[in-house]
């Protein structure tokens, strides 16, 4: 069984959203801490030039805006695509086996923060289960590495959103946030992908 949103994580994500909303200031500063998401949602791509990545003192990666860290910090690995034909920024956070509680806590905080910053909330992706017959069929189509992924990676939670960028309905910000466990060694990984196309 490949679970994409367990009841426990859904409750944790709801708690994260509540905490983010309680902590968020009101009035003109209501979007404090949301500057990176607001730039990704702005009409036109000019403001994207301030988006970047920096290596922090821990030797990990922070997503930044105009050199200032955003709420996405301490990532193990990030990919960054030029905004010439769209824009894609993706980062991963790793947790050793046995640190499920820390991974779930950080995952729920990210869900809460994104929900506080996005104009529409993230949607939980429904549970998906693959049988061995389905995996074999997908292996024939996509290769053995994809089949190995389906057999060894268990998705513990997954949330998505698609939000129009500015007033231009042809451009949108696609947000994908997931938590997975590798059943071979118990390691956990949070992935966030922000794509603007």
Residue 19: predicted pLDDT: 38
Q: Total domain count for the chain?
A: 1
| Residue 128 forms part of a structural domain | yes
Look at residue 94 and tell me if it is in a domain: yes
pLDDT classification of 47: cutoffs 50, 70, 90: confident
- The pLDDT-based confidence of 169 (bands split at 50, 70, 90) is low
Average pLDDT over residues 164-183: 86
Cross-strand partners of 97: none
- 29 inside domain: yes
pLDDT digit string, tens, across residues 33-42: 899 999 988 8
No. of helices (H) and no. of strands (E), the chain = 5, 9
Domain interval for residue 40: 7-196
Tell me: pLDDT of 24 over 80.
no
pTM, two decimals, is: 0.79
- Mean pLDDT score, 54-60: 95
Q: Is residue 1 part of a domain?
A: no
- Asked if the structure places residue 33 within a domain, the reply is yes
- CA gap 196, 172 in Å, rounded: 6
């Amino acid at each position: 069984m490949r679970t994409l949103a367990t009841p426990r994580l859904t409750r944790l994500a709801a708690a994260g959203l509540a905490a983010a909303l309680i902590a968020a200031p009101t009035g003109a500063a209501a979007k404090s801490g949301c500057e990176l998401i607001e730039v990704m949602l702005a009409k036109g791509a000019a403001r994207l030039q301030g988006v970047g990545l920096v290596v922090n003192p821990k030797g990990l990666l922070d997503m930044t805006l105009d050199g200032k860290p955003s709420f996405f910090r301490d990532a193990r690995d990030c990919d960054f695509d030029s905004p010439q034909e769209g824009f894609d920024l993706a980062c991963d956070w790793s947790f050793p086996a046995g640190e499920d509680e820390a991974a779930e806590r950080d995952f729920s905080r990210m869900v809460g923060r994104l929900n506080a910053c996005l104009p529409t909330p993230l949607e939980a992706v429904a549970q998906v289960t693959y049988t061995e017959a389905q995996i074999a069929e997908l292996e024939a189509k996509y290769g053995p590495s994809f089949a190995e992924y389906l057999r060894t990676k268990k998705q513990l939670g997954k949330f998505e959103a698609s939000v129009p960028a500015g007033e231009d309905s042809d451009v949108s910000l696609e947000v994908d946030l997931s938590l997975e466990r590798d059943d071979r060694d118990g390691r956990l990984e949070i992935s966030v992908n922000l794509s603007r196309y």
